[in-house]
Structure 1
Amino acid sequence: MNFNYSIEQYSDVYQEQVSDLILHIQQVEYNIEITKEDQPDLLNITSIYQIGKGNFWLAIVEGKVIGTISLLDIGNNQVALRKMFVDRRYRGSEFQVAKKLLNKAIDWGNDNSIQEIYLGTTPQFKAAHRFYQKNGFTELRSQELPSEFPIMKVDNRFYKIALY
């Protein structure tokens, strides 16, 4: 199968597509009671994620956003992995969209002297739990998170990877 897509740094021209993709996955696929208003960062990606040692990337095919990932700078050479979502049609090892997005974030972390990447996720995202563990993340308790880590109200599973 010939499937061409690119991983690109976020630009505001994609803001609506990013919001639509994330909200659809959260609300429709996983029945998570979360709104756009609960996530004001979706309207301010450049000023929230693309500062300090943070950034935000998109997987794009033919001008359409099919995946997202971001790193939020939380200080002390640590970041929070946020907004990792892939359109249902492009998930899995056949396409490698999630893997390439994660690799982009980890490469950025290594290039920017990041020591640890932390993330929080919901119990519903079981495939994501397996994906993170398969890619070197270890589970930890919320008490082990840095005090600056922003815990979302829907998150209760947490992971970390150390970079060198």
Structure 2
Amino acid sequence: MTSSALTVEAADPADFARIAELTVGVYTGEHLAEPGYVPQLADVAGRADRAELLVARDGSGTVVGSVALVLAGDFGEVTESADEAAFRMLVVDRSQRGRGIGEALVRACLDRARAAGKHRVVLSTDPRMTAAHRLYERLGFTRLPERDWTPVPGVDLRVYSLDL
């Protein structure tokens, strides 16, 4: 996908350090991650074994966003059937927000999920991630409150879904 010199493509192992920097920086900088979750956010190689990592690059090739698309397996966490895909750890460089990077990453996930024969995409999100909620709702995602969950005490996550 290309838009205004923005490209979305599969991540390369050479991108992993930048993805870790972005993910940990955004989640901790915005107080969206408990300290115990930081090692998982930083483990990009581990994520790459369980998901398809996508990156958004600006016109100079710099990684300005990333997401983990889960087409199968337990890393999806909120998926309940083989017909569902999920995405996790959507992150956009704070200095680059408002340029459509998050939307481009989500749309790439939707396109890839469709191509893989999935019928629904689900995700879980922290209630404080209000900008992300607006994006999801604008793209047609709806709340799936019966699947809201608490991975660890004190962390309550909301689930959204979109039928493809």
* Partners of 1:36 and 1:42 within 8 A in 2: no
Matched, 1:91 2:93: no
Please list, as runs of the form range in 1=range in 2, the aligned pairs for 1:67-78 lying within 5 A after superposition.
67-72=65-70, 73-74=72-73, 76-78=82-84
Distance, in Å, in 2 between the alignment partners of 1:19 and 1:156 is 22
Give unpaired runs (5+ residues) of structure 1.
Answer: 50-54
Distance, in Å, in 2 between the alignment partners of 1:43 and 1:112 is 23
* Partners of 2:47 and 2:68 within 8 A in 1: no
- The structure that is helix-richer by fraction is 2
Change (3 A) 1:44 1:31: closer
Measure how far apart 1:41 and its partner are.
4.8
Measure how far apart 1:120 and its partner are.
0.5
Question: Hey, what does 2:142 align to over in structure 1?
Answer: 138
Question: Hey, what does 1:59 align to over in structure 2?
Answer: 56
Please list, as runs of the form range in 1=range in 2, the aligned pairs for 1:39-54 lying within 5 A after superposition.
39=41, 41-49=43-51
Percent same amino acid among aligned pairs? 24
Distance, in Å, in 2 between the alignment partners of 1:32 and 1:69 is 16
TM-score norm. by structure 1 comes to 0.80
Measure how far apart 1:151 and its partner are.
6.6
* Partners of 2:84 and 2:121 within 8 A in 1: yes
Matched, 1:129 2:133: yes
Question: Hey, what does 1:116 align to over in structure 2?
Answer: 120
List structure 1 segments (4+ residues) > 6 angstroms apart after TM superposition: none
Question: Hey, what does 1:23 align to over in structure 2?
Answer: 24
SS of equivalent residue, structure 1 residue 17: helix
Measure how far apart 1:140 and its partner are.
1.3
Distance, in Å, in 1 between the alignment partners of 2:55 and 2:11 is 6
Distance, in Å, in 2 between the alignment partners of 1:131 and 1:120 is 14
Distance, in Å, in 2 between the alignment partners of 1:102 and 1:155 is 22
Distance, in Å, in 1 between the alignment partners of 2:156 and 2:105 is 21
Opposite residue 133 of structure 1, the aligned amino acid is: E
Change (3 A) 1:78 1:64: same
SS of equivalent residue, structure 2 residue 87: strand
Question: Hey, what does 1:160 align to over in structure 2?
Answer: 161
Change (3 A) 1:40 1:90: closer
Distance, in Å, in 2 between the alignment partners of 1:89 and 1:67 is 11
Change (3 A) 1:31 1:96: closer
Give unpaired runs (5+ residues) of structure 2.
Answer: 74-80
